[in-house]
Chain A
Amino acid sequence: MKNKIFALIDCNAFYVSCERVFNPKLNNRPVVALSNNDGCIIARSKEAKALGIKMGVPLFKVKDIVRKEKVHVFSSNYTLYGDMSRRVMNIIAEFTNDIEIYSIDEAFIGLDGIPGDIVEYGHKIRKTILQYTGIPVSVGIANTKTLAKVANHIAKDNGSFSGVCSLLELKNIDKLLPSIEVGEVWGVGRQLSKKLNMHGIYNIKQLKDTDDFRIRKMMSINGLKTVTELRGISCLPLEEVRATRKSCCTSRSFGQNLKELDDIQQAVAIFSRRAVERIRAENLLTSSVSVFLRTSPFDKKNKYYFNSSSIHISTPTNDTIEIAKIVSRITKQIFKPGYLYQKAGVLLSGFYPEGEEPVDLFSQDSKIREDLMKTIDKINTRFGGDTIQIASEQHLGTWAQKKDRCSPNYTTNINSVLVVD
């Protein structure tokens, strides 16, 4: 059989790049984006990396560098990033139907049967995305997904490739691999790379050349697949259809600690609605609803409290109102007064595809409710996520997230579009 060809297209510092499209003054300047609630740094421009700002550090730890070097800091604007991601993915899909959207800023594609020079084709995809959206991407091309990811890493790290690196062409892969740490391999996390280091395996070349017996002992069966892929034999196909999810969780830290049951009820009502919207978009019904509440585990002055509880539903549902009622009931049950709560979450699980749920003989006809739910989703999609809410949510309670440095929703709200002289 002929070898397969994969490419990984990965947006460079995606969140930062999104901000730069609408704020070109930020080009060539250090820029970072923060996680939910303005906690940690989750995206860095090249210039910010060069200042030694590490991935995942809390903002307060680097506040001196930020001030001194005038680093531009953004709260994450997922509305904007989501819309820009949709554009990038649509553009990739115009090149090929063989696409696996792997995350908000990465997609694998299959390149079998592409006529002409593959690297040139990679450059064409890259140029088109950059011109159409302003987002720079790197393209890694190879015979396996794992190697495509390695190629992408090389393309990003090494300017001489101009953003596209193919390991198909390079006869001397083995010359490039020793300079890349094992931790960069797809599927090798921090724990595993520590373990490999202990066994004397530091770079990708060493990992690739380790015999199967040792690999199995150190890395389990999935690890063997990874290593086989590093050797150029494809084990992981494109997953065009995502496996049905097992659970759906919405949980957040509150902007500030909450004491009152009413405030917490408002927050969990929103988490509940968002979770239900997600499963409804996937045509799933839930049969189990859980809620958890906790105080800060790092607060040394006050006592730690965590509690959670679940309710099983005999008639699986994706009805926002019904689930909101259950969530409210559980929250009341697990709430204990006198604590400062920091985080809560709603978890839905026990899914059935719509139409395949067990029938409850005593349930009422829910067609009218179903129509209502569809209408609510339509309105919230059209006019913005929170237009129609369940009454218990109310608006912007004290729990609302910290989002002090958020950019406008340039692409999704007509009142927030870019203003140009």
Chain B
Amino acid sequence: MKLTFYNEGVECGFPSPARDYTEGSIDLNEKLILHPNATFIVRARGKSMINAGIYPGDLIIVDRSIKPTNGSVVVAVLDGELSIKSLEIKKDKITLLSANKDYSSVHVSEEMDLIIWGVCIHSIHKLHNN
């Protein structure tokens, strides 16, 4: 004897009236990640960017393909150290700003080695513990 599997589910009664209006579901990958090959996820630690809406433990979506500009929140590598900071470009002066008055900001001098690792485009903050 052979049993047949129905993968599609069996319909009873009338088909749903919404059936012709379905659009698929919302895909967060598609909405939050514009350049998948250049996008990396990192986790924030510490409170230096709290006033920019970045809390300890948040997941940050970093897009390396975007050109950083004045005001961008970036992952910076300053003399080999990684940090999340706000980028301030005034004429030819670059400053890495913290978004918390308890933390200092850094004026980047000529001797320092600064690499902008990527531009932070979203922060994912957990509101409910389950």
Contact = CB atoms under 8 A, between A and B. Distances in A.
Given A133-B37, A419-B45, A421-B48, A365 B2 contact: yes
A133 B37 CA distance: 8
Interface in B11-57: 35-38, 40-46, 48
Q: How large is the interface on B (under 10, 10 to 19, 20 to 34, 35 or more residues)?
A: 20 to 34
A411 B36 CA distance: 11
Contact of B64 (A90, A133, A411): A133
Given A24-B80, A87-B37, A132-B35, A417 B43 contact: yes
Nearest to B35: A132
Contacts of B69: none
A87 B36 CA distance: 8
A15 to B, nearest CB: 18
A339 B130 CA distance: 51
Interface in B80-99: 80-84
A417 B41 contact: yes
Contact of B82 (A94, A132, A368, A421): A421
Interface string A6-45: 0000000000000000001101000000000000000000
Contacts of B42: 417-420
Given A132-B37, A133-B64, A420-B42, A27 B84 contact: no
B64 A418 contact: no
B83 A421 contact: yes
Given A24-B115, A421-B45, A131 B40 contact: no
Contacts of A334: none
A25 B82 CA distance: 9
A229 to B, nearest CB: 32
B120 to A, nearest CB: 9
A88 to B, nearest CB: 8
A134 B42 CA distance: 15
A87 B77 CA distance: 22
Most buried by A among B37, B38, B46, B60: B37
A420 B42 CA distance: 7
Contacts of B84: 420-421
Interface residues of A, number: 22
B65 interface: yes
Contact of B83 (A87, A371, A420): A420
Interface in A133-188: 133-134
Contacts of A419: 42-45
Nearest to A367: B5
A133 B41 CA distance: 13
Given A24-B115, A27-B80, A133-B64, A420 B38 contact: no
A91 interface: yes
A27 B75 CA distance: 17
Interface string A117-143: 000000000000001111000000000
B121 interface: no
Contact of A420 (B2, B44, B80, B115): B44
Contacts of B64: 131-134
A50 interface: no
Contacts of B115: 24
Given A131-B64, A414-B59, A421 B46 contact: yes
A364 to B, nearest CB: 10
B37 A420 contact: no
B65 A420 contact: no
Contacts of B59: 414, 417
Nearest to A94: B37
A351 B42 CA distance: 43
A298 B82 CA distance: 46
Contacts of B82: 24, 418, 420-421
Contacts of A133: 37-38, 64
A118 to B, nearest CB: 24
Interface in A278-303: none
Interface of B: 2, 5, 35-38, 40-46, 48, 59-60, 64-65, 75, 77, 80-84, 115, 117
16 contacts: A24-B117, A27-B80, A87-B38, A131-B64, A132-B64, A132-B65, A133-B64, A134-B64, A414-B41, A419-B43, A419-B44, A420-B42, A420-B43, A420-B75, A420-B84, A421-B48
